[in-house]
Amino acid sequence: MPTWIIVAALLLVNAPVLAGPWDKLREDGVHDPRSPAINRLQEPGDALSKLTPDSAGNMVRWVQSLEKGEINPRANLRPDTKIRLYDSDVMLNLNGGMPMVKFPHRQHTLWLDCANCHDHLFKAEAGANKLSMLAILNGEQCGVCHGAVSFPLTECFRCHNTAKPGGKPPRPSLPIAIPAGAVPPK
């Protein structure tokens, strides 16, 4: 599939997340600025600006922030919930024109349980799933989370992170520049 189709679809899907850092609560269109409770809430920028910065999404590099101990989220609410970490990378996209996708279980299971993905999103068997970038852009598969709650789909090379044998090395940013003004203001 030509890369420009993906980029065009993605501009439509992801435009809001390109629009930069944290709104003040009074201006975010979600909180009622007239509510007396607004003064009791912490501004997102006060909390998030202290964490490892990212250049996309909600502007925090969450995996690094967790690994550096900047945050220490509670792993379970009930003591009987079993925490399962799984350290296994699965290579995806072995045949396309883009670099391969190394899917890291360890980083995911720092945040998630197996049941968040298995088996309703992915069968737990390498190569057993029919993955597609259009489905992902459509909010399915990886796109259930990426572009919604985890880093956005504009970060092509955070997923397409491994060169094919003899292939071009992954680049750190979008394959084409997004022209100024292409992203509608919020």
Binding stretches for ligand HEC (CB under 6 A): 1, 3, 6-7, 10, 62-63, 84, 86, 88, 90, 92-93, 96-98, 101, 103-105, 107-109, 111-112, 114, 116-118, 121-122, 124-129, 131-133, 136, 141-142, 144-146, 150-151, 153-156, 158-160, 175
Residue type at 172 in one-letter notation: P
* Nearer CB in complex with ligand HEC: 51/159: 159
Q: How far is the CB of 127 from ligand HEC (least distance, A)?
A: 5
CA distance 50 to 129: 39
Q: How far is CA 6 from CA 76, 88, 153, 160, in A?
A: 38, 28, 10, 14
How far apart are alpha carbons 11 and 5 in whole angstroms? 10
In the complex with ligand HEC, which residue's Cβ is closer, 38 or 112? Answer: 112
- Distance of alpha carbon 156 from alpha carbon 171, whole angstroms: 9
Per the structure block, which two tokens stand in for 42? 């912490």
CB of 81 to ligand HEC, least distance (A): 13
- Closest to ligand HEC by CB, 41 vs 148, is 148
